[in-house]
Amino acid sequence: MSEVLNYIWLGVLAVFTGPDLFSLFGIGIPVAPIMVLGGLLTGIAVGATPGLAGPMAMAISLPILISIFGFTPDALLPVFGFLIGIMKGATVGGAVPAILFNMPGTPDALMTTLDGYPMAQSGQPRRALRIAQLSSVTGDTFSDIVLFVCAPFLAVVVEAYLDLPEKTALLILSITFIAAVMGSSVGKGLLAVGLGLLASFVGTGQSLTPRLTFGVPELSGGFPLVAAILGVLIVGEIFKGIEDLVRGGNSGRKGAQTLAEGVKDRLQPGDIRRIAPYVGRSALIGTIIGALPGVGSTLAATLGYSYATRRHKARKQPEDTAFGAGAPEGIAATEAANSAVSGANLIPVLSLGIPGNAAAVFLILAADSIGGFNPGPAVFRFTTPEVNPELVIAFGIFTLMSIGNLLNWLIGGSFMRSMGVLARIPQHILLPVVLLITLTAIYVQETSLFALWVTFGFGILGYLFRRSDIPVLPFVIAFILAQPLEQTAREAFAATGANPWFLFSSVTSAVFMLASLAAVVLLGRNRM
């Protein structure tokens, strides 16, 4: 136990005694917490801007951060700090345009418009924003605590009890689960996964002659990870947005609404007591949903809101505002649920190396670009006397998340209220600008125009996916997991002395394999 505490302490120290940004009255101000603050403010601003989203901001800032901090392990915590800040900020910020303009800044804020906008219309925009912020931060904090406890535990169990064949089977289970659960149909989910795997196998492989390159020498290293991921995830979305504007022509925004006069616009006495049970319930729902890879915050928000509707109907007093007419409980239930997803979503990525959502994808991308930290069960090895630097980083990440929550409590609310103006940036300017920034950011990292063509190609693919209702995230996750999966399978095959049935050689791995089959069949039938 003492070694665990020791590592936690080292993680905290790593954050606060890292390189100093500047010194104030002789006391050095460490850079990592400042980066969390910067990321948080950026995230709130980005979340408040419809058309931008957390992943986009993470994508753009990553190469800038790497340029600033370099490719050394010292860079990990400041870079993660900023990215985590964005992640937390964007969840809160998404509520701003939803409440003020009836325009969700992020997809998961859709349910927030249902009660947030009516409340703002009735002259209480500040009260609505405050409730959204409080619920969001509470949900997030709860979820983070679950993460801190579960991730190390899960990782230790995996590392202690799973051999190479079982690890292979676990990866297969995760990928099939994601395919089955995301998107409109299992067929399309599997298609996204299959294409992601195949794309990732181009150029890689163990033989000294690179595979599947069509003889193109630039492909001998495979498609660059950032180019492929940003292409599908960000550029595809930009292309779709551009086409919508080409078709629709007008990109005007709704004007500011007139507010009712003479209503007290701040948190009302009893609000906290009123929303607390809804926040608690939604936080739990969001955390459970978040812990499953691939199940998004939109589902959590929907579930949280509908459970709250049922409860509210049952216990409603006559003087209470109904759901849909500006009920504080409605805002609270949605925001707590969608924010509670973000912390728990890091459980599979930190403990198993399996990213479950876009934010986790970018944390993996950052770790991969900088080097020195490979998310997965090997991270949580409590070695003594040799200090395991990756474990220190992991606890450093937990510390950064706690700092993010604290800052979100303290200043998130006031910053949020000043962000309403961002919802007015016209899309037809925003989209091309973000495109050039993304392309430049990729070039800076890959230094080849070929990488820009790869980005463009994957952007077209992402666009076609969106137009054909094929989910993009399973593609990205499969692209990331393809190589660990193939590598683990190769190792398992070799380690078992070339046993072709290694996936079924133990009970655990056979159970995992059956579970993946069950996921496809059962979840598939439900939707057909």
Partner 1 sequence: MKDIFKPLAVAAAVLAMPAAAVAEGWTPPGPITMMIGFAAGGGADTQARLVAQGLEAKYGWKVLPQQVDGNSGLNLVAELVNAPTDGTAIGMVVSESLTYSMMAAGNPDLQIDKFTALATTASFQTGLVAMAEGNFNTWDKVAAAAKAGEQIRFGTASDRQADVAYLFGKAAGIDFNIVPVKGGAGVMNGLRGGDLDIGWVAGAQSKPVTQGEMVNIASAIPAKLKDSPDAPLVTDLGSKYVLDGYFMFVAPGNMDPEARKALGDAIRDVLNDPTTEANGLVTKVFGGPDVITGEALDAKMSEMNTAAATMLKDAESN
Partner 2 sequence: MHRNTADLALGLCVVVLALLAIFAWVPNDTATGIIQKIRGRQSIGDAMAPTLAALLIGLSGLLITLESRRKSAQEGPHVSLFNLGFLAILTGIFLASVLLMRWSGPLLVGLFGPEGAVYRDLRDTMPWKLSGFVIGGTFLVGGLISLMQRRVSWTAVCVGLLTAGLLIAVFDLPFSDILLPPNGDL
Q: Is 487 in the site for partner 1 (CB under 8 A)?
A: yes
Q: Which stretch binds partner 2 (CB under 8 A): 346-354, 384-392, 491-499, 504-512?
A: 491-499
CB 80 to partner 2: min, Å: 20
Q: Which stretch binds partner 1 (CB under 8 A): 7-15, 142-150, 226-234, 491-499?
A: 491-499
Contact 58, 87 (CB under 8 A): yes
CB 474 to partner 2: min, Å: 11
Size of the site for partner 2 (CB under 8 A): 71
Kind and range of the H or E run holding 285: helix 271-291
CB 87 to partner 2: min, Å: 22
Question: Contact with partner 1 (CB under 8 A): which of 24, 27, 208, 246?
Answer: 208
Question: Contact with partner 1 (CB under 8 A): which of 13, 378, 515, 523?
Answer: 378
Q: Is 424 in the site for partner 2 (CB under 8 A)?
A: no
Amino acid at 494: A
Q: Which residues pair with 28 in a beta bridge?
A: 23
Of 135, 112, 90, 115, nearest to 282 (Cα)? Answer: 135
Tokens of 440: 């430049």
Q: How far apart are CA 157 and CA 150, in angstroms?
A: 11
Scan residues 51-80 and list those touching partner 2 (CB under 8 A). Answer: 64, 67-68
Kind and range of the H or E run holding 125: helix 125-161
Choosing among partner 1, partner 2, none, which partner's interface includes residue 3 (Cβ < 5 to 8 Å by kind)? none
Choosing among partner 1, partner 2, none, which partner's interface includes residue 201 (Cβ < 5 to 8 Å by kind)? partner 2
Of 404, 434, 415, 275, nearest to 342 (Cα)? Answer: 404
Contact 297, 342 (CB under 8 A): yes
Q: Which residues pair with 464 in a beta bridge?
A: none
Question: Contact with partner 1 (CB under 8 A): which of 16, 102, 122, 163?
Answer: 163
How far is the CA of 76 from the CAs of 27, 167, 352, 428, 520, in angstroms? Answer: 23, 26, 19, 35, 37
Q: Is 495 in the site for partner 2 (CB under 8 A)?
A: no
Question: Contact with partner 1 (CB under 8 A): which of 268, 321, 409, 491?
Answer: 491
Q: Is 505 in the site for partner 1 (CB under 8 A)?
A: no
Whether omega before 78 lies within 30 degrees of 0, making that bond cis, reads no
Question: Contact with partner 2 (CB under 8 A): which of 6, 17, 72, 184?
Answer: 184
Q: Is 71 in the site for partner 1 (CB under 8 A)?
A: yes
Question: Contact with partner 2 (CB under 8 A): which of 161, 214, 261, 507?
Answer: 214
CB 481 to partner 2: min, Å: 12
Of 56, 8, 58, 55, nearest to 35 (Cα)? Answer: 58
CB 205 to partner 1: min, Å: 9
Q: Which is nearer to partner 1, 333 or 400 (CB)?
A: 400
Size of the site for partner 1 (CB under 8 A): 43
Scan residues 425-464 and list those touching partner 2 (CB under 8 A). Answer: 428-429, 431-433, 435-437, 439-440, 443-444, 446-450, 452-453, 456, 460, 463-464
Contact 302, 112 (CB under 8 A): no
Q: Is 251 in the site for partner 2 (CB under 8 A)?
A: yes
Dihedral class, residue 25 (left if φ above 0, else alpha if ψ from -120 to 50, else beta): left
Q: Which residues pair with 23 in a beta bridge?
A: 28
DSSP sequence for 30-94: EHHHHHHHHHHHHHHHHHTSTT--HHHHHHHHHHHHHHHH-SSGGGHHHHHHHHHHHHHHHHHHT
Q: Is 484 in the site for partner 2 (CB under 8 A)?
A: no
Q: How far apart are CA 176 and CA 158, in angstroms?
A: 19
- State the residues that interact with partner 1 by CB under 8 A: 19-22, 31, 68-75, 159, 163-164, 204, 206, 208-210, 217, 220-222, 369-372, 377-378, 381, 383, 385-386, 447, 487, 490-491, 494-497
